[in-house]
Structure 1
Amino acid sequence: MKDDEFRPELGRIRSRGSKAGKRYAGQVRAAINRAGGRPARGARFMGSRTGRGGAAAALLRSRDRHAAFRQRRVIVKARIVRLAGKGLDGARAHLRYIQRDGVTREGEPGKLYGAEQDRMDGREFLDRADGDRHQFRFIVAPEDGIQYDDLRPLTRRLMAQMEEDLGTKLDWVAVDHFNTGHPHTHIIVRGKNDRSENLVIAREYVSSGIRERAAELVSLDLGPRTDREIEQHLRQEMEQERFTSIDRQLLRTRDDDGVVSPSGRDTFRQTLHQGRLRKLERMGLAEETGSGRWRLNDDLEITLRRMGERGDIIKTMHRELTGKGLTRSAADCVIHDRSSEPAQSVVGRVVARGLANELDDRHYLIVDGVDGRSHYIDIGNGDATEPTPDGCIVRVTPRSTEPRHVDRIVAEIAGTNDGRYSIDIHLKHDPSATERFAETHVRRLEAIRRATTGVEREPDGTWIIAPDHLERVADYERQRTRVEPVTVDRLSSLPLEQQVDFDGATWIDRELASGSPEPLRDAGFGREVRQAQGRRQQWLVAQGFARREQDRLVYRNDMLRALHWRELNRVASQLSKELGLAYAEPRPGEIVEGTLRRSVELASGKHAIIEKSREFTLVPWRSVLDRHIGKEVSGVVRREGISWTIGRQRSGPSVS
């Protein structure tokens, strides 16, 4: 066209009204970055480099790619944990768990060490961290970690290099784990620098800098990867059913239409990519569109990562079941993870408990179910579930995200009282309700208030309930489900074999006397339970708790109660000798008061020891009592349980 036909439209390229201008500005910035240029003064703020280590991370990223390709690979997982509120309790639990039994090569507890000492006291470390805003947790796993007899020298050199990069001394402890196929190190770093100021590490250094430093050190120890090692590793990746470095390269080479055309001068790379694409095609994750062009599934990375996780879980189940001498087919192994929670309760024997995610403290249970199948269940945060020793009988139930009945009652009462709720309002609204019943609604509101901003409490104790209260409660339950996806109820601490001739009420007895016992499959643990029930029935007949009438067994009406009192009196007699106090049996309607000393485990469940000056009593345990050991308590014995009051005053806060 002619020059005079060109009509420019005035306006700033980066003006908000010009989408084309935004795209053009982005293309210019991308071209500058590809050319190795630096943005001019006034360029966009890069938050990833805020904090210590940003310059070191940038330097590591700019190094020679060929040298980096030959470096030994190291996986580093990082997490920043806030210590406010219950964070320090979680830090104590995490420290205990990484030092658990069976993590060394010899199967012994993990040994905590530091920069100069081979034995560190975890309590002293946490005492120093009291008042810290946060702490850093790292897992460092060299791909060739199996070649190290001892990971401590590597860890100390890495931490010394980090101190140099960050420009400050670090207060840290570590534990080495050799209980998996990949030896790794757990490192905990205080969130304070050497001036007792909050330690802020650049996000880029955390995400990539530490990994690059660790890879440098491992490469110095073992030498760079040879061509043969690299090719062998890539050939192994070609057939793996997980997300691999080859998949990452293929995703990077996709064009705007999402199509890959593997080509190039490197014959090995081309063959590798073609082989991987054929594997993905068989898995339904890639499709050849003709002439060497392939379209990758949009969810390729997510699907492959999930498949990799499931593969790791299956290996874990096989290892734990085999270690306990149990043989289960692949068809009888069920995986319940966060994306697929159990649709119904699972009852069975605990085979193992472990960390599904060692950094986030997410635990799993492997339960050998009465349905004849073995179940892998993600139970969420470890401190949310009480200890579950191997062999105990449990029921695992998925947590509901629906509002409870008490929530609907609160919403109903508030709806007719201008959005307000209190115990007095409740009793006026429903004269048949008791004050104790209304208190359960207040405790529910208090729990929601502590965790969310869904409800408000006024100084006079009145609660302000929003019109969308039930929707807010559902959000609260969904938040809880992410932390505690299931509830784990311990049905019996006694292993199955010990229950057959135990002189007390057992889980087998409760199942036999129940009108709706758990359905048992004639396979796996279900078959073992059936056999144990048969032997237990013979014992009950011999002890006079059951009799045979024609083709059926009739149990005494008071069988469970009589067996329970047998065990309770036996344990009480033993405790009486140990404590030097007389045992006082609690009766309905009586007030139980004294010092909560500790708990004791019975076959019928956990009981609390309440001690007075001359006597003690045993009452059923409640989980809310865990944090009140050593305190004065009082409570009224009722048929459905005990209404507790913590402290000496009778009018104090109660826990039912």
Structure 2
Amino acid sequence: MSKHDDERFRIRPGAPKQRDDAFINKVLRQTNKAGTKLGKTVGKVGHLPGSRLGRGHVAARFAGAALMSNARRVTIKTRLVNLAKAGPRSTAAHLRYIERESVDRQGGPGHAYGPMTDSPDTAAFEECGREDRHQFRFIVSPEDADQLDDLRTYTRHLMARMEADLGTRLDWVAVDHWNTDNPHTHVILRGKDDTGKDLIISRDYIAEGMRHRATELATEWLGPRTELEIQRAMQREVDQERWTGLDRTLQRLAVDGLVSPETMAEPRLQRQRQMLIGRLQRLQRMGLATEQQPGTWVIHAEAELTLRAMGERGDIIRTMQRAMSGRQRELAVFQPVEDGRAIVGSVIGKGLTDELHDKGYLIVDGTDGKAHYVVLPPRSELEQYPTGAVVEVKGSTEVRAADQNITALSVNGIYRTDHHLALAQGQATPDSDPRAVVAAHVRRLEALRRAGIVERMAEGVWRVPDDLAERGRQYDAQRLGGGVAVDLKSHLSIARQTRVIGATWLDQQLIGGSKGLGDIGFGSEVKDELQRRSDFLVEQGLAERRGQRVVLARNLLATLRGRELAKAAHDIASETDLEYRPVSDGLRVAGVYRRSVMLASGRYAMLDDGMSFSLVPWKPVVEQQLGQQIAATVRGGGVSWEVGRRRGISI
């Protein structure tokens, strides 16, 4: 190569090997990770790594530029949902949550609406978005939403401005909620633009731009806040037992935890100064701040956490008081580790503690005379617990017997199902099925394998750690959201249980002697309903009175259950033209799982073999097999399910 050629030499990079969406998504993930790490040190709009990736980053720089300090305030909470991880039913479940009962202005169910219609097809919306990679969920809460009056029109205007900022039409549905002190709107936005590509919204627009647009719109509709409105809002915050805007201002002003006259001397703080001093005095009375010398205060390090906890507890108390509707009860928050016992009661209220993440709660009127606030485990669905249903709530932090058995049967850290089956067959009783016993342990091992606690080495061979029992207990506590387990005892209220044919929770109380019932609240109500249930059983010839005593018929529960199953089977046979095949103890039944049937005696799965059908006690494990071939064996009061092909030990 000549010298002249050497000077003309230029590097020409080849075309990138990856141009598809997967490569772009990989870049976005890495920039998001970098932004998360550096976000605390780089806070200006447009300065975060990756902040200009996606739609809306230009609009985010200019949105709100004309807003003044007296603009209306709007809070927006955002969640980006990875639908692959959330599951195929995530959208449908979230729609059920936000359209639930008692959220509209008249106390009725929520009503979804879209850009152009007040009655969108939410099922079609969910179906269209089923293959989407992600989804956006927003909660838009204007501070003066009660003055806006028409949240629906406000939301449509806001989403139209977002479409202009993002340069694409948006596919969304929304539901307005008026059931709290702060009316707000839930918005579900599909993660696709109008060309069918993934909708990527700039980090800056989500963090600032959308809120600025909502603030601009609220200010245009209602006008700027007056000086009186601003003063009244701050005055309300002075004495509140929660983390407030005044606290955030004090946190920003504090230098090494100290707030001095110099830090509050900024001209823009003059109208807040008296409020800030009043707030500091209130914090001192609460033990969260100390005046070291006149005008100089130290705010304790735990102040924010304490105030947030106090605000949360205050919200819980107000929620419980609304649910109790004037009924006098001692209020309690269920703490599984501290309580260490189960509570039984009636569901008198339910809702979401975190509406963005669908975390629910129940308010249970207990037989002990107290009302209990219970935070549900993650992914629990409120519709499982009808108002009036009877539930048992307990801590699930004890070591499982299955984990102890697996540890005891392991040799050098290896558990084998064939060894366990041989041992179980040697100890079998007429009412037990050795294969079902081992299958239950296999199901537990599969769950622990997915959690990374055990390892499956081969079919029926597992490597387990020496501390399996403790690690299994920790796994259960984490999976159940702090170790709370809620067991539905009856979907019927006790009033509805008194005169039904079926094995009810009230019947179980009669057989057990109705122990542990208090004399006030739900416990007293249960005692009254037990009397009515006894009268009904006497009418049906299933009990007789002997003086002050009521003697129940032998095998009462089995008789009631059999009568109810016969009635339900007759109705299904008339509907489907299939023959009913009762389940015999110890015999295996198989068929396609068509649906579940909720009876007073419990929930049953309908298995259809094409010619006949059977009703088998339902378990959660079968719900994922709807429309699939499964089999079951009933022994005594238990049932063993076989899912998929029958190969070795059933699971």
Letter in 2 for 1:501: R
- Structure 1 Cα separation of the partners of residues 58 and 172 of structure 2: 23
- Structure 1 Cα separation of the partners of residues 141 and 149 of structure 2: 14
Instruction: Say if 1:507 and 1:33 are closer, same or farther in 2 by CA, change over 3 A.
Output: closer
Q: Render the CA deviation track for 1:568-624: whole Å, top value 9, x for unaligned.
A: 333334444444444333221222233333222222211223334554332222222
| 1:566 equivalent in alignment to 2:559 | no
Which stretch shifts more, 180-189 or 519-528?
180-189
Instruction: Say if 1:489 and 1:229 are closer, same or farther in 2 by CA, change over 3 A.
Output: same
- Structure 2 Cα separation of the partners of residues 427 and 420 of structure 1: 15
Match in the other structure for 1:311: 314
- Structure 2 Cα separation of the partners of residues 553 and 284 of structure 1: 59
Pick the aligned partner of 2:350 from 353, 369, 372. 353
Letter in 2 for 1:597: R
Task: Give 1:446-457 correspondences, 5 Å limit.
Answer: 446-450=446-450, 452-457=451-456
Question: How far has the Cα of 1:528 moved from its partner?
Answer: 0.9
SS in 1 for 2:175: strand
Task: Give 1:373-522 correspondences, 5 Å limit.
Answer: 373-383=370-380, 387-400=384-397, 402-414=398-410, 416-417=411-412, 419-427=413-421, 432=426, 434-450=434-450, 452-458=451-457, 460-467=459-466, 469-470=468-469, 472-482=471-481, 485-514=483-512, 517-522=514-519
Instruction: Say if 1:650 and 1:255 are closer, same or farther in 2 by CA, change over 3 A.
Output: closer
- Structure 1 Cα separation of the partners of residues 173 and 112 of structure 2: 6
Q: Render the CA deviation track for 1:266-292: whole Å, top value 9, x for unaligned.
A: 664222122212222222222222312
Whether the 8 Å contact between 1:396 and 1:486 is mirrored in structure 2 is yes
- Structure 1 Cα separation of the partners of residues 87 and 613 of structure 2: 36
Letter in 2 for 1:333: L
Letter in 1 for 2:452: T
Q: Render the CA deviation track for 1:277-320: whole Å, top value 9, x for unaligned.
A: 22222222222223122222212112112222222222222222
Whether the 8 Å contact between 1:646 and 1:653 is mirrored in structure 2 is no
* Fraction of identical pairs, as percent: 42
Match in the other structure for 1:557: 554
Instruction: Say if 1:406 and 1:384 are closer, same or farther in 2 by CA, change over 3 A.
Output: farther
SS in 2 for 1:491: strand
Instruction: Say if 1:485 and 1:430 are closer, same or farther in 2 by CA, change over 3 A.
Output: closer
SS in 2 for 1:597: strand
Pick the aligned partner of 1:272 from 267, 275, 282. 275
Match in the other structure for 1:328: 328
- Structure 1 Cα separation of the partners of residues 463 and 92 of structure 2: 37
Question: How far has the Cα of 1:83 moved from its partner?
Answer: 0.7
TM-score by length of 1: 0.83
- Structure 1 Cα separation of the partners of residues 191 and 96 of structure 2: 19
Whether the 8 Å contact between 2:52 and 2:204 is mirrored in structure 1 is yes
| 1:599 equivalent in alignment to 2:596 | yes
Match in the other structure for 2:139: 139
SS in 2 for 1:601: strand
- Structure 2 Cα separation of the partners of residues 578 and 131 of structure 1: 35
Question: How far has the Cα of 1:461 moved from its partner?
Answer: 4.8
Whether the 8 Å contact between 2:502 and 2:564 is mirrored in structure 1 is yes
- Structure 1 Cα separation of the partners of residues 42 and 649 of structure 2: 63
The count of corresponding residues between Structure 1 and Structure 2 is 603
- Structure 2 Cα separation of the partners of residues 298 and 494 of structure 1: 49
- Structure 2 Cα separation of the partners of residues 435 and 542 of structure 1: 43
Pick the aligned partner of 2:639 from 630, 642, 650. 642
Whether the 8 Å contact between 2:360 and 2:380 is mirrored in structure 1 is no
- Structure 1 Cα separation of the partners of residues 418 and 84 of structure 2: 35
- Structure 1 Cα separation of the partners of residues 61 and 253 of structure 2: 24
Considering only aligned residues, what root-mean-square deviation do their CA atoms show, in Å?
A: 3.2
Pick the aligned partner of 1:532 from 526, 529, 532. 529
Task: Give 1:139-158 correspondences, 5 Å limit.
Answer: 139-158=139-158
| 1:211 equivalent in alignment to 2:201 | no
- Structure 2 Cα separation of the partners of residues 541 and 477 of structure 1: 44
Letter in 2 for 1:529: V
| 1:176 equivalent in alignment to 2:173 | no
Pick the aligned partner of 2:288 from 281, 285, 291. 285
Question: How far has the Cα of 1:224 moved from its partner?
Answer: 0.9
Whether the 8 Å contact between 1:385 and 1:488 is mirrored in structure 2 is no
Whether the 8 Å contact between 1:336 and 1:377 is mirrored in structure 2 is yes
Whether the 8 Å contact between 2:389 and 2:491 is mirrored in structure 1 is yes
Whether the 8 Å contact between 2:363 and 2:371 is mirrored in structure 1 is yes
- Structure 1 Cα separation of the partners of residues 498 and 42 of structure 2: 73
Pick the aligned partner of 1:370 from 367, 375, 391. 367
Whether the 8 Å contact between 1:81 and 1:87 is mirrored in structure 2 is no
SS in 2 for 1:443: helix
Instruction: Say if 1:537 and 1:162 are closer, same or farther in 2 by CA, change over 3 A.
Output: same
Instruction: Say if 1:133 and 1:475 are closer, same or farther in 2 by CA, change over 3 A.
Output: farther
Whether the 8 Å contact between 2:424 and 2:437 is mirrored in structure 1 is no
Instruction: Say if 1:383 and 1:481 are closer, same or farther in 2 by CA, change over 3 A.
Output: closer
Whether the 8 Å contact between 2:148 and 2:222 is mirrored in structure 1 is no
Letter in 1 for 2:120: M
Whether the 8 Å contact between 2:104 and 2:178 is mirrored in structure 1 is yes
Letter in 1 for 2:309: R
Instruction: Say if 1:384 and 1:156 are closer, same or farther in 2 by CA, change over 3 A.
Output: closer
Letter in 1 for 2:314: G
Match in the other structure for 2:71: 71
Instruction: Say if 1:88 and 1:580 are closer, same or farther in 2 by CA, change over 3 A.
Output: closer
Question: How far has the Cα of 1:187 moved from its partner?
Answer: 1.1
Which stretch shifts more, 486-495 or 565-574?
565-574
- Structure 2 Cα separation of the partners of residues 553 and 650 of structure 1: 48
Question: How far has the Cα of 1:429 moved from its partner?
Answer: 7.5
- Structure 2 Cα separation of the partners of residues 157 and 574 of structure 1: 51
- Structure 2 Cα separation of the partners of residues 223 and 336 of structure 1: 45
Task: Give 1:121-270 correspondences, 5 Å limit.
Answer: 121-261=121-261, 263-264=264-265, 268-270=271-273
Whether the 8 Å contact between 1:250 and 1:260 is mirrored in structure 2 is no
Which stretch shifts more, 294-303 or 263-272?
263-272
Question: How far has the Cα of 1:47 moved from its partner?
Answer: 4.8
Letter in 1 for 2:490: S
Question: How far has the Cα of 1:544 moved from its partner?
Answer: 4.6
- Structure 2 Cα separation of the partners of residues 220 and 271 of structure 1: 30
Letter in 2 for 1:98: I
Letter in 2 for 1:315: R
Note the residue ranges of structure 1 that are not aligned, 5 or more in a row: 1-28
Pick the aligned partner of 2:630 from 626, 629, 633. 633
- Structure 2 Cα separation of the partners of residues 520 and 581 of structure 1: 44
Whether the 8 Å contact between 1:378 and 1:485 is mirrored in structure 2 is no
Note the residue ranges of structure 2 that are not aligned, 5 or more in a row: 1-37, 428-433
SS in 2 for 1:70: coil
SS in 1 for 2:348: strand
Letter in 1 for 2:210: I
Match in the other structure for 1:87: 87
Pick the aligned partner of 2:605 from 599, 602, 608. 608
Match in the other structure for 2:616: 619
Whether the 8 Å contact between 1:422 and 1:442 is mirrored in structure 2 is no
Q: Render the CA deviation track for 1:245-279: whole Å, top value 9, x for unaligned.
A: 11111112212253454753666422212221222
